[in-house]
Structure 1
Amino acid sequence: MTRAGLVLFCALLGLTACGHRPPDQVTDACLILEDNRSWWRALQRTEERWGIPPGVQLAILRRESSFNAHARPARNRLLGIIPTSRPSSAYGYAQALDQTWDWYREDTGRRGADRDDFSDAVDFVGWYSSKSRQLSGVQPHQARELYLTYHEGHGGYNRGSYRGRSWLINAADTVARDASRYQAQIDRCERRLNRRFWLL
């Protein structure tokens, strides 16, 4: 099947599995979403359900997995050579931990949700952000603070566990910049993204 045929097949069936390969570039939201229309629909659904802007959703996923559906933390190495266990159970687009993912599925009733499904991953990001608002007072557009709660957990964030960790502060600042840039890009191309694929 040609690339154009595969894109048409995926669009017709709405298969997020077809989008498992990470985007060729990760800096332009319009290009990312034009190549992955089901991702755009998933971002919109998450914004409608949880109130988190698409730019923030994309920025968090970029930081966590670079849009790799099967991302996992690198294995620890014994003596610097022999691979051993992984440092955590983080997996998928959102790098959600087993326990947190189970909490999400239980809390939302989405028991069949998968961490390597883009739609489920962004819904998880939206859900977690809503918990950040409830438990930590962080607003949906505050990408920097949302990332800190995402990384540290609500208890850790509320205790200020991120303070003094310059690498984490820098990461959160990067997420904020990415979110702002992505949202500005989406604002410019949203009308084009909302067109039916056969009208492009």
Structure 2
Amino acid sequence: MSRLFRAMALVLLAASCGGGSGTAPRQLDNACSILSERPTYLSAFKATERKYGVPVHVQMATIYQESKFVSDARTPFRYAAGVVPLGRQSSAYGYSQALDGTWDEYVDATGKRTARRDRIRDATDFMGWYMAQTQSRLGVPLSDARNQYLAYHEGRTGFARGSYNSKPWLVRVAGEVGQRSNLYASQLRSCS
């Protein structure tokens, strides 16, 4: 019996140490470090860039803002009177913080029935799909991280109406996404 117990303990230990699921890379301000620590990210970003034309640095800046590269990120809970939980602020989940309805639209449009928001390859493919449609419908260049982020956050209809203009905090955040995209682009040019 002790051999079985030891074997089970080893399997549990290996499972708890193995994946790093849900955790962010260590140096989020360094694109080269992120990609060095998580090589699967680069292949996912490159696949999305080839398929949809969204530059790697735009994808990275958007994921940084949405989830800080945490695969199972969720929005915080809302509380009534500060103590009674009312549920999460939205259904946003995963690397891309895709909402349930938008994710379902993506799955229907692409036929990717097994896609998951907490897998980097699926999350980047979703972002590429969404941003390519934003370019097609609204003319926002794929390299324009600031305006792509505004359309991503507000939805294409909200962006077209200019709903972000009444949200100074969002305009500031979108500017930060643009700056981070430029920082990542500069760093990526020097990665080995």
TM-score over 0.5 for the alignment? Answer: yes
1: CA distance between counterparts of 2:21 and 2:44? 12
Q: Secondary structure at the match of 2:90?
A: coil
- 2:121 pairs with 115, 119, 126, which one? 119
Q: Secondary structure at the match of 1:83?
A: strand
Q: Which residue of 1 aligns with 2:137?
A: 135
1: CA distance between counterparts of 2:179 and 2:21? 25
- The amino acid across from 1:59 in the alignment is A
Equivalence map 1:103-114=2 (5 Å): 103-114=105-116
Q: Secondary structure at the match of 1:77?
A: strand
| Larger Rg, first or second structure (1 or 2) | 2
- The amino acid across from 2:105 in the alignment is W
Q: Which residue of 1 aligns with 2:153?
A: 151
RMSD value over aligned CA atoms? 1.8
Q: Deviations over 1:66-117 (max 9, x none)?
A: 1111111101011112222112110000000001001111111211100000
- The amino acid across from 1:115 in the alignment is R
1: CA distance between counterparts of 2:183 and 2:113? 34
Q: Which residue of 2 aligns with 1:72?
A: 74
Residue 56 of structure 2 corresponds to residue 46 of structure 1: no
2: CA distance between counterparts of 1:18 and 1:119? 16
Aligned length: 178
Percent identity at matched positions?
Answer: 40
Query: Normalising by structure 1, what TM-score?
Result: 0.85
Residue 58 of structure 2 corresponds to residue 56 of structure 1: yes
Q: Which residue of 1 aligns with 2:174?
A: 172
2: CA distance between counterparts of 1:47 and 1:175? 18
1: CA distance between counterparts of 2:70 and 2:21? 10
Determine if contact 1:64/1:94 at 8 Å carries over to the other structure: yes
2: CA distance between counterparts of 1:115 and 1:25? 22
2: CA distance between counterparts of 1:141 and 1:80? 41
Query: Normalising by structure 2, what TM-score?
Result: 0.88
- 1:98 pairs with 87, 97, 100, which one? 100
Gaps (5+ residues) in structure 2? 1-9
User: Post-superposition shift, 1:19?
Assistant: 5.5
